A and B are shown apart, each in its own frame.
Chain A
Amino acid sequence: MNSSQLQLPSYLEQSDAVRSRFTELKERESVLTAKNLSKVFTSPQGKKIVALDNVNLEVKRREFLSIIGPSGCGKSTLMRILAGLETVTDGVAQLDGKTIEGPGAERGMVFQGYTLFPWLTVKKNVMFGLKMKGVGGVTAEQEALQWIELVGLSKFAESYPHQLSGGMKQRVAIARALATKPRVLFMDEPFGALDAQTRAQMQHYLLQIWKNVDVTIVFITHDLDEAVYLSDRILVLEANPGKVQEHIEVPVPRPRTPEQFLHPAFLATKNHIEHLIHPPAEDLYDDLPMLKMTKLGDEVE
Chain B
Amino acid sequence: MPKQKTPWLRVHKPLSKKRQTFLTILSFLIPILLWCAVSYTPFIWHPDIKLDISANRSDVTTVYTAGDRLSKEYFPTFVDAVRKANADATAGINPNASPRATRRSNQKDLRQIGAVAVKNGWLEHEQTEDDAALYHIWRDLATGTKISKSPQLSEENLTIIKQNWATLSATSPDYKSSSLPETPILKLIPQGTASNPVYLPAPHEVITTGWRDFNASVEEGEITMSARFLQSIKIVFGGFLLSCLIGIPLGIMCGTFDFFSRLFEPFIDFFRYLPAPTFSTLLVAIFLANDAPKIALVFVGTFFQMVLIISKTTRLLDHSLLEAAQTLGAKPTQLLKNVVVPGILPNLYDDLRILLGWAWTWLVIAELIGVKSGLTEFIETQGRYRNFDRVFPIIFMIGFVGFFTDQILAYSKGFFFPWLRVGSSPLERLRQFFGVPSDQNKSKAV
A residues with CB within 8 A of B: 83-85, 102-105, 107-109, 111, 113, 115, 117-120, 128-129, 131-133, 156, 159-165, 173, 176-177, 180, 186
Instruction: Tell whether, in the assembled complex, residue A177 and residue B419 are in contact, meaning their CB atoms are under 8 Å apart.
Output: no
Q: Once bound together, how far apart are the Cα atoms of A111 and B327, in whole Å?
A: 11
Q: Once bound together, how far apart are the Cα atoms of A132 and B330, in whole Å?
A: 6
Number of chain B residues close to chain A: CB under 8 A: 26
Enumerate 19 A-B pairs (CB-CB under 8 Å) in ascending A order: A85-B326, A105-B329, A108-B328, A113-B320, A115-B320, A115-B321, A115-B324, A118-B420, A119-B419, A132-B328, A133-B329, A160-B419, A162-B419, A162-B420, A163-B446, A164-B445, A173-B324, A177-B328, A180-B329
Q: Once bound together, how far apart are the Cα atoms of A115 and B322, in whole Å?
A: 9
CB-defined contacts of B33 to chain A, threshold 8 Å: none
CB-defined contacts of A164 to chain B, threshold 8 Å: 445
Q: Once bound together, how far apart are the Cα atoms of A84 and B419, in whole Å?
A: 30
> Does B80 touch A at the CB level, under 8 Å?
no
CB-defined contacts of A118 to chain B, threshold 8 Å: 419-420
Are A103 and B323 also in contact (CB < 8 A) when A128-B328, A129-B329, A132-B328 are? yes
Instruction: Tell whether, in the assembled complex, residue A160 and residue B418 are in contact, meaning their CB atoms are under 8 Å apart.
Output: yes
Instruction: Tell whether, in the assembled complex, residue B445 and residue A161 are in contact, meaning their CB atoms are under 8 Å apart.
Output: no
Return the chain B residue nearest A80 by Cβ. Answer: B323
Q: Give the distance to chain B from A98, nearest Cβ to Cβ, in Å.
A: 16
**Most interface-central of A85, A113, A119, A176 (chain B CB within 10 A):** A119
CB-defined contacts of A128 to chain B, threshold 8 Å: 325, 328, 330, 338
> Does B345 touch A at the CB level, under 8 Å?
yes
Q: Once bound together, how far apart are the Cα atoms of A132 and B321, in whole Å?
A: 15
CB-defined contacts of B444 to chain A, threshold 8 Å: 163
Return the chain A residue nearest B419 by Cβ. Answer: A160
Q: Once bound together, how far apart are the Cα atoms of A94 and B170, in whole Å?
A: 123
Instruction: Tell whether, in the assembled complex, residue B419 and residue A176 are in contact, meaning their CB atoms are under 8 Å apart.
Output: no
Are A104 and B323 also in contact (CB < 8 A) when A163-B444, A163-B445 are? no
Q: Give the distance to chain B from A111, nearest Cβ to Cβ, in Å.
A: 6
Return the chain B residue nearest A179 by Cβ. Answer: B328
Instruction: Tell whether, in the assembled complex, residue A117 and residue B321 are in contact, meaning their CB atoms are under 8 Å apart.
Output: yes
Are A117 and B327 also in contact (CB < 8 A) when A111-B320, A132-B334, A162-B419 are? no
Q: Once bound together, how far apart are the Cα atoms of A85 and B419, in whole Å?
A: 28
Q: Once bound together, how far apart are the Cα atoms of A119 and B334, in whole Å?
A: 16
Return the chain B residue nearest A155 by Cβ. Answer: B445
Instruction: Tell whether, in the assembled complex, residue B327 and residue A83 are in contact, meaning their CB atoms are under 8 Å apart.
Output: yes
Return the chain A residue nearest B325 by Cβ. Answer: A128
Q: Give the distance to chain B from A147, nearest Cβ to Cβ, in Å.
A: 13
Q: Once bound together, how far apart are the Cα atoms of A107 and B338, in whole Å?
A: 20
**Most interface-central of B323, B327, B343, B417 (chain A CB within 10 A):** B327
Q: Once bound together, how far apart are the Cα atoms of A108 and B420, in whole Å?
A: 27
Return the chain B residue nearest A129 by Cβ. Answer: B328
Are A103 and B417 also in contact (CB < 8 A) when A115-B320, A132-B331, A163-B444 are? no
5 further contact pairs, Cβ within 8 A, besides A119-B343, A162-B421: A109-B323, A115-B320, A115-B323, A129-B328, A132-B329
> Does B342 touch A at the CB level, under 8 Å?
yes
CB-defined contacts of A109 to chain B, threshold 8 Å: 323-324, 327
Q: Give the distance to chain A from B342, nearest Cβ to Cβ, in Å.
A: 5
Kindly count the residue-residue contacts between A and B in the assembled complex, taking CB atoms under 8 Å apart. Answer: 81
Which B345-371 residues have C-beta < 8 A from chain A? 345
CB-defined contacts of B417 to chain A, threshold 8 Å: 119
The 6 tightest CB contacts between A and B, nearest first, are A105-B329, A129-B328, A103-B326, A115-B324, A109-B327, A163-B445
> Does B242 touch A at the CB level, under 8 Å?
no
> Does B158 touch A at the CB level, under 8 Å?
no
> Does B336 touch A at the CB level, under 8 Å?
no
Instruction: Tell whether, in the assembled complex, residue A177 and residue B418 are in contact, meaning their CB atoms are under 8 Å apart.
Output: no
Q: Once bound together, how far apart are the Cα atoms of A164 and B445, in whole Å?
A: 8
> Does B339 touch A at the CB level, under 8 Å?
yes
Q: Give the distance to chain B from A260, nearest Cβ to Cβ, in Å.
A: 32
Q: Give the distance to chain B from A134, nearest Cβ to Cβ, in Å.
A: 10
Q: Give the distance to chain A from B422, nearest Cβ to Cβ, in Å.
A: 11
Which B395-446 residues have C-beta < 8 A from chain A? 417-421, 444-446
Return the chain A residue nearest B444 by Cβ. Answer: A163
CB-defined contacts of B445 to chain A, threshold 8 Å: 156, 159, 163-164
CB-defined contacts of A163 to chain B, threshold 8 Å: 444-446
Instruction: Tell whether, in the assembled complex, residue B419 and residue A111 are in contact, meaning their CB atoms are under 8 Å apart.
Output: no
CB-defined contacts of A108 to chain B, threshold 8 Å: 327-328
CB-defined contacts of B345 to chain A, threshold 8 Å: 119
CB-defined contacts of A132 to chain B, threshold 8 Å: 325, 328-331, 334, 338
- B75-90 vs A, CB cutoff 8 Å, 1 = contact: the mask equals 0000000000000000
Q: Once bound together, how far apart are the Cα atoms of A113 and B320, in whole Å?
A: 8
CB-defined contacts of B325 to chain A, threshold 8 Å: 117, 128, 132
Return the chain B residue nearest A165 by Cβ. Answer: B446
Instruction: Tell whether, in the assembled complex, residue B328 and residue A176 are in contact, meaning their CB atoms are under 8 Å apart.
Output: yes
Q: Which of A83, A105, A161 is the one whose CB lies under 8 Å from B419?
A: A161
Q: Once bound together, how far apart are the Cα atoms of A109 and B325, in whole Å?
A: 10
Q: Once bound together, how far apart are the Cα atoms of A113 and B323, in whole Å?
A: 12
Instruction: Tell whether, in the assembled complex, residue B320 and residue A117 are in contact, meaning their CB atoms are under 8 Å apart.
Output: no
Return the chain A residue nearest B329 by Cβ. Answer: A105
Q: Give the distance to chain B from A130, nearest Cβ to Cβ, in Å.
A: 9
CB-defined contacts of A103 to chain B, threshold 8 Å: 323, 326-327
Are A177 and B338 also in contact (CB < 8 A) when A118-B419, A162-B419 are? no
Which B72-131 residues have C-beta < 8 A from chain A? none
Q: Once bound together, how far apart are the Cα atoms of A115 and B328, in whole Å?
A: 12
Instruction: Tell whether, in the assembled complex, residue A119 and residue B328 are in contact, meaning their CB atoms are under 8 Å apart.
Output: no
Instruction: Tell whether, in the assembled complex, residue B329 and residue A104 are in contact, meaning their CB atoms are under 8 Å apart.
Output: yes
CB-defined contacts of B326 to chain A, threshold 8 Å: 84-85, 102-104
Instruction: Tell whether, in the assembled complex, residue B323 and residue A85 are in contact, meaning their CB atoms are under 8 Å apart.
Output: yes
Q: Give the distance to chain B from A3, nearest Cβ to Cβ, in Å.
A: 38
Return the chain A residue nearest B330 by Cβ. Answer: A132
CB-defined contacts of A113 to chain B, threshold 8 Å: 320
Which B301-346 residues have C-beta < 8 A from chain A? 318, 320-321, 323-331, 334, 338-339, 342-343, 345
CB-defined contacts of A133 to chain B, threshold 8 Å: 329
Q: Once bound together, how far apart are the Cα atoms of A162 and B339, in whole Å?
A: 17
Instruction: Tell whether, in the assembled complex, residue A105 and residue B343 are in contact, meaning their CB atoms are under 8 Å apart.
Output: no
Return the chain A residue nearest B342 by Cβ. Answer: A119
